Structure 1
Amino acid sequence: MRRALCPVETLYVGQRSRAVLSCALSGRLDLGALSAAFDAVTGEHPSLRSRIVPDGEGFALELLDEAERPRLATRTGNTEKAYAAELNTPLSVGGPMSRAVLVSAPEGEDHLFVLSVDHTVVDGHSGIALLNEVWDRYRVLVEDGTRPDTADRDALRWPRPVSELLHPADPERTTAHLERRIDEVRRNPVELVPYDVADPSGVEGRIEVCRLTLDAERTGRLRRTARAAGVSVHALVAAALLTTARGHLPDGPRTLGCLSPVDLRSRLSPPVPALMMVPAVTTHLQFLALPTDPDPMDVARTVHERLADFVAGDGPAEELRITPEVPRRPTLQLATVIATNMGVVPGPRLPEGLEATDIRLVPAREQYFPAAGRSPVMACVVSFEGRLAIEFPHFTACYSPEFMGALRDGVGAVLAAFADAAPAPAPTS
């Protein structure tokens, strides 16, 4: 049984990218209940228990048989090493679109749950919803002892492709949008941050993640600064990324690009819930001519105003419609920095006796090109339980851990300055 991929979904097939969600846990954990919870969730979402196969001139999702479907893998070991291993273990070609692994420390009650899902069937919002759904099912099993009803578990409920849920398009309008975008990128060639690894042949290339975290108090101050300035927290983070990246380029005016993913779920007809396994996202690319030492707040205001104008109009839908052009014209999405932002999201609700000590969302892919000499800098931003975190995934044959650490610290310094400028909180009555 198959479901054809639409042109937008097909774009992700060649990228071999995935969302890696993880949850560090402390306390008692019932392996049988967690395995049953994962089975119940994958049973309700056929995309997670499918493979990608050729289908005419395109591709399709093909349902796996019972023996091939993904199951929870469990093992004992060091949780930090296990996380690094999962980041560097691709989803198998021709295998399931999802993988779940639980690693428990040899002694004690520390665990790491890692859920990897192919971006062909997931985006950041649905990935987070999926992680929380697994733990919701687990909590019900542990607290109530109720096993999932599997009578209708394998009934096919393929989600409709996002491109079919857009409002009716005017072909002339879409063509005009594409022509404007092609002209825009032609007139604004962006500069990319050069790799610092001089000889990648002598480096063991692997995915690593440099991380910046803010506690709840500093996150709150950053939000107050954003409100006082009339901008979003996303704009402040994007400004920190852009001004820091600008510091790694030669002096003089430089054109930088900022790519911001835009969630489409509320814009579709009908609206798409977060737990529907589709990549319901488009992008906004803007160009900024920055001097040698730009003012971060000025940059934040520019980012905010342009993104707000884009979201308020037909830009998101038109940008999705021209997405199939990206493989032929990659400059349509070429940026100096890619700033994803999931906003403020809840963490898993767990039963008594089990605590989530850390939650992470990191994008990973399988193809990196050290010989290119430069590339966009990726930052994945999410606020779990009111604490902002920025993940900087990178390939060590391109950017060294030392370089990414310095870039993270630069971003952190700009965000710290923003937070320090926060007005006092409003008094409570």
Structure 2
Amino acid sequence: MHRALCPVESLYVGQRSRAFLSCTLRGRVDVEALSAAFDAMTEANPTLRSRIVPDGAGHALSLLDEDERPRLLTRTGDGDEAYAAELNNPLPVGGPLSRAVLVSAPDGERHLFLLVVDHTVTDGHSSIALHNALWDHYRTLVEEGGGTGAAASDAPQWPRPVSQLLPPAGEADTAEYLERRIEEAREHPVALVPYDVRRPSVTGEGADGAADADGHIEVCRLTLDTELTTGLRRTARRSGVSVHSLIASTLLATARRRLDGDGPRTLGCLSPVDLRSRLTPALPASAMVPAVTTHLQTLEVSGASDPLETARAVHARLSDYISRGDHFLEVRITPEIPRNPTLQLATVIATNMGVVPGPRLPDGLEAVDVRLVPAREHYFPQAGRSPVMACVVSFEGRLAIEFPYYTACFSPSFVRAFRDEVRDGLLAFATAEETGAATEHEPVGAAAG
């Protein structure tokens, strides 16, 4: 059984990006029940037990044979080492589009569960929904018992791609929008953050290809406790903006300090925009498809720019973009992105999943920490500069920002310093005293990863 990929899905085939979910656990895990829960998820979602295959000029999903489908992998080991290893373990084209791994400490009381899904068949919302549904099924099996095998379906129920769920749009409107976007990108080229890892000479030892092979993905993390997260949300409401815009403003200011001079520079902020809640009818988070588009805006940012004013500009432009319905047109021009990469070229990429629930577990098992990190296979140290990625998600009301990076591009010390400056900026927002200048209202939430 095959299912053709739509243009949005096809874009991820070349990018080779994936959602990397991890859950640190304390207590006893019933491995048989967890294995059965993962099998149930792959049975209910055929995209998880599929591979990507050529399909004419494009690609399609093809079901794996029974002996090829992904199963829960288990082993004993160190959680930190397992996290680093799996973060750099790809989901290659032609193989399964999902993987689940349980790594347990020798005492059997500490575990790391890893769920990896190719972005061709998921986005942030659906990967988190899948993770929580898996643990819901596990809890039911542990508490109520029952069979541990997943019943095979007669035919796969493929989810409809988001490209087929968009409201109507004329070809002329789409062409006009594309022309406008290309012209905007041409008129406002954005500055990128230079890599701090020195590139070796092409003619000397360690040429570009060798250095590229030596790199690997790491993640630097920023967290705020519930009190500081609440303070950040309070400042956003009081100022009439979203938390996303405060974070984007802080990221832009931090990136600006990595560029020469103090005067205005053109910076770009790329914000993923959730489509699920904006479709009619709305698409549930359980639908395993990438249902996200992007908004790119350029701003003049200097060393003296006021962070709150930058946040207001980010918020206003993103809100206007959505109110005009441009996010639907952005999906329609997706096939043009490989030919016009500047349509998504930004100084910072700021995802925002909003506040999401963690997994519900049976008695005797506790989720100590939950993380969501985007990762991809292809990095280009030879480019010399690139956007900085920040993945923002609040599990159970505690904000976290993950900064994934490639060590042949940015050094750990560089990213830690970037992270620390972003934290300082967010703390300034989170602890700001109330003033009478801002009016209290709920801002429009716009972004999603």
Structure 2: how far apart are the matches of 1:151 and 1:315?
A: 42
Structure 1: how far apart are the matches of 2:193 and 2:87?
A: 23
Partner of 1:294: 305
| Residues 122, 277 of structure 1: 8 Å contact kept | yes
Partner of 1:265: 276
Deviates more, 1:288-297 or 1:318-327: 288-297
* Helix, strand or coil at the partner of 1:112: strand
* Helix, strand or coil at the partner of 1:273: coil
2:22 matches 1:11: no
Identity %, equivalent residues: 68
Deviations 1:17-66 (A, max 9, x none): 10000100000110000000000011000000000000011000000010
| Residues 44, 154 of structure 1: 8 Å contact kept | no
Corresponding residue to 2:230 among 220, 225, 231: 220
2:247 matches 1:237: yes
2:396 matches 1:376: no
| Residues 51, 97 of structure 1: 8 Å contact kept | yes
Corresponding residue to 2:398 among 375, 387, 407: 387
| Residues 221, 422 of structure 1: 8 Å contact kept | no
Residue 334 (structure 1) shift: 0.2
Deviates more, 1:351-360 or 1:101-110: 101-110
Number of aligned residue pairs: give it: 425
Structure 2: how far apart are the matches of 1:245 and 1:44?
A: 43
Where in structure 2 are there 5+ consecutive unaligned residues? 201-205, 441-449
* Helix, strand or coil at the partner of 2:300: strand
Partner of 1:147: 147
Residue 108 (structure 1) shift: 4.6
| Residues 262, 283 of structure 1: 8 Å contact kept | yes
Residue 93 (structure 1) shift: 2.9
Corresponding residue to 2:428 among 417, 420, 423: 417
| Residues 212, 389 of structure 1: 8 Å contact kept | yes
Residues 376 and 197 of structure 1, relative CA distance in 2, 3 Å threshold: same
Deviations 1:342-381 (A, max 9, x none): 0000000000000000000000000000000000000000
Partner of 1:136: 136
| Residues 199, 381 of structure 2: 8 Å contact kept | no
| Residues 32, 148 of structure 2: 8 Å contact kept | no
Q: How does 1:137-216 map to 2 (within 5 A)?
A: 137-147=137-147, 150-153=150-153, 155-199=155-199, 201=206, 204-216=214-226
Taking only aligned residues, the RMSD between alpha carbons, in angstroms, comes to 1.4
Deviations 1:264-312 (A, max 9, x none): 0122243211011100000000000112232111111100110111112
Structure 2: how far apart are the matches of 1:342 and 1:393?
A: 16
2:288 matches 1:277: yes
Could you tell me which amino acid in structure 2 is paired with residue 155 of structure 1? A
* Helix, strand or coil at the partner of 1:304: helix
Corresponding residue to 1:321 among 313, 332, 338: 332
| Residues 50, 69 of structure 1: 8 Å contact kept | yes
* Helix, strand or coil at the partner of 2:352: strand
Where in structure 1 are there 5+ consecutive unaligned residues? none
Deviations 1:95-127 (A, max 9, x none): 100000000011250000000100000000001
Residues 275 and 148 of structure 1, relative CA distance in 2, 3 Å threshold: farther
2:414 matches 1:403: yes
Structure 1: how far apart are the matches of 2:292 and 2:353?
A: 11
Could you tell me which amino acid in structure 1 is paired with residue 378 of structure 2? Q
Q: How does 1:245-264 map to 2 (within 5 A)?
A: 245-251=255-261, 252-264=263-275
| Residues 162, 268 of structure 1: 8 Å contact kept | no
Deviations 1:197-228 (A, max 9, x none): 01364683010000000000100001101111
Residue 169 (structure 1) shift: 1.2
Could you tell me which amino acid in structure 1 is paired with residue 337 of structure 2? V
Residues 189 and 35 of structure 1, relative CA distance in 2, 3 Å threshold: same
| Residues 20, 87 of structure 2: 8 Å contact kept | yes
Partner of 1:89: 89
* Helix, strand or coil at the partner of 1:310: helix
| Residues 36, 149 of structure 2: 8 Å contact kept | no
Residue 314 (structure 1) shift: 1.1
* Helix, strand or coil at the partner of 2:52: strand
Deviates more, 1:144-153 or 1:312-321: 144-153
Residue 155 (structure 1) shift: 3.2
Structure 2: how far apart are the matches of 1:219 and 1:60?
A: 42
Query: TM-score with structure 1 length normalisation?
Result: 0.97
Structure 2: how far apart are the matches of 1:108 and 1:351?
A: 16
